[in-house]
Structure formats: C-alpha cells, structure tokens
Amino acid sequence: MTIDFKGRVAIVTGAGGGLGRQHALALAARGAKVVVNDLGGAVDGSGGSVSAAQAVVDEIVKAGGEAIANGASVTDFEAVQAMVRQAVDTWGRVDILVNNAGILRDKSFAKLDLADFRLVVDVHLMGAVHCTKAVWPIMNEQKYGRIVMTTSSSGLYGNFGQSNYGAAKLALVGLMQTLSLEGAKNDVRVNCLAPTAATRMTEGLMPQEVLDALRPDAVVPAMLVLAAQDAPNRTILCAGAGTFEAAHITLTQGVHIGLGADAPERLAAHLADVTERAGEQVPASGAAQGANEVGKAMGALRRA
C-alpha cells in the first residue's frame, strides 16, 4: 500500500530547516499541498525571517509541488490563526498539522533562568496548543484530521540540562492523550513523534559519525505514517537512524495496602511489589487508574 497525500493540505511548523524541512518536502513529494511555516530564528529562538520558509517552498515548487510560506511565530495565537486562514483561503481545508517548531535553551536546572524555562515551554507546548486550537474546529467539522505532536526522549526519559525542554515535550504527550480521545468521534487522530535526528539543535552535542547516521530524513517515515489516512491514534512513535520504536506510559498491577497509621510503612515494605512490571497495562484513559485502584479495594473488602 502506497501512502499518498493527494488532495490533502498540510501545515508544518518549524519547516525552514532540519527535520521540519524534511517533513514538508516529503509530504509535498507525496501530493500534499503544504504551508511551510518558520519564524526563521536562531536555535535559541532569537531573530526571524521568512526567507528560510520561502527557500523550502521554492524547492517544493521546483519539484512540481504546491506550497506557500508563512513566517508566524507559534507563540502568537493571532498570527497562527491567520496562518490557518491562509491555508483555508488558498486550498479550502486543513487535513494535517505537524507541530515541529522548537527552540533550545539548555542549562542545568541550578543555572537555568526562569525566563528561559518559560520561553521553551511557550514555544514547544503553547506553540503546539495554538496551532492545534486553530485547526481543531476545521478538522472536526470536516470529520478528518491528522495531528502530529513532536515529543522527545528528553521528555519521555530525561536528559541532563534539559529540564525546560523535557517538561514541555512530555506535556505534549499529555495533550495528545486527551485530544486523541476527544477527536476520535470525528476521525481526528492525534499522535506523538519522538525523533532522534541531527539538526541545528544537535550540532556539537554528538560525534560526527553519529550525526551522519541520524539524518533527519531517517525520521520522516514515522511522520508520514502518523499523518496518513490509515494513521493510528494515541501512539508515541520513536524514530532515529532508520530504527522505529513505540513508547508507552504504563500502569503496574499494583498492590492494595489499605489505610491506617502504618500504611506508609507497609507501602515502603511492599514498594518492590508495587513497582513490579509483570502484567503492567497501557490504560485506555486516565479513568483506568482509578478503576484499578477501586477494583483492588473492593476485592480486599470482599476477602475481609
């Protein structure tokens, strides 16, 4: 089965270079009409120019595709709304949103200025919220939409010096978990992509041979699957160097400890049983945690 996007309209943020550029080129090569969004700033978010986005548009048009450039900052909701109107005015719809825009302000938490924490959260988390909020009514009304949130292993598993980045990236997983439930009835599917790719944001952080293996285009197949008509829903797909994995937020079976003054001590004594991963589950929703806890409590009452 060939994945194609003929007749589909896609918005890719942060698409002036690196991974976003590869996403935009790949979607266009498979038939999508693409809004190439990029503020054109530096890795830390400073500056701005639409020239980076326009260069990618020129590549797409030269290859026979259709694309338009947009220089909105994802932190500006009014500018994001105007970007979405631009897509609808040009092509009549929006089918795909790839939330890819991001910046880095790396420092250990002890040395990190709170302004840099807020800015990274604003770009990654609120930027994705702004873009998703702007396309959400359109996708639900047309009963079709594919939204890809760009999370990160730094959010899923942690990374020294990236408390701001990691917090924002894991927050996107939480956003995806709920939106995937709310959009399901209208075939609006929401997923996360956790890429490992060499871009401007990773220069100087890894040996060159590793950077060569982590080509941005090696991540693109995962994005295409998550943006496709047959995309999954509520999936965290990891990708790097041509390898693909899935990440899950799981829940162990747990142990009913009960109440009482010595409950903390009994919990500490049984902590290894509580954290035992045999039989762990991927809950269908947040309510499943409560259901598991109440179920064990009721079982303990029946046995008493």
pLDDT tens-digit profile of 87-141? Answer: 999 999 999 999 999 999 999 999 999 999 999 999 999 999 999 999 999 999 9
Other beta carbons within 10 Å of 154: 22
Same domain flag for 81 and 171: yes
Domain match, 135 and 273 both: no
pLDDT band of residue 42 (cuts 50, 70, 90) is low
Judge whether residue 47 has pLDDT over 60: no
Q: Are residues 132 and 30 in the same domain?
A: yes
Whether residue 4 is contained in a domain is answered as: no
Residues 130, 106 share a domain: yes
Examine the residue annotation and report whether 165 is marked as an active-site residue of this protein. Answer: yes
**pTM of the model as a whole:** 0.93
Q: Is the same domain home to 107 and 210?
A: yes
Number of domains in the chain: 2
Residue 256, domain member (yes or no): no
The answer to whether residues 79 and 41 belong to one domain is yes
Domain extent, residue 283, equals: 263-303
Candidate list 70, 165, 219, 257, residue with the active-site label:
165
| Listed residue (172, 206, 207, 208) closest to 190, CA to CA | 172
Query: Does residue 187 form part of some domain?
Result: yes
CATH of the domain at 59: 3.40.50.720
In a domain, 19, yes or no: yes
Same domain, 130 and 29: yes
**Rounded to an integer, what distance in angstroms lies between the CA atom of residue 286 and that of residue 109?**
30
**Closest alpha carbon to 97 in 174, 173, 189, 219:** 189
pLDDT greater than 80 at residue 204: no
Residue-wise pLDDT for 83-96, tens only, equals: 999 999 999 999 99
**Contacts for 11 with CB less than 8 Å, ≥ 6 apart:** 34, 35, 37, 83, 84, 87, 94, 96, 97, 98, 131, 135
Shared domain check, 214 and 101: yes
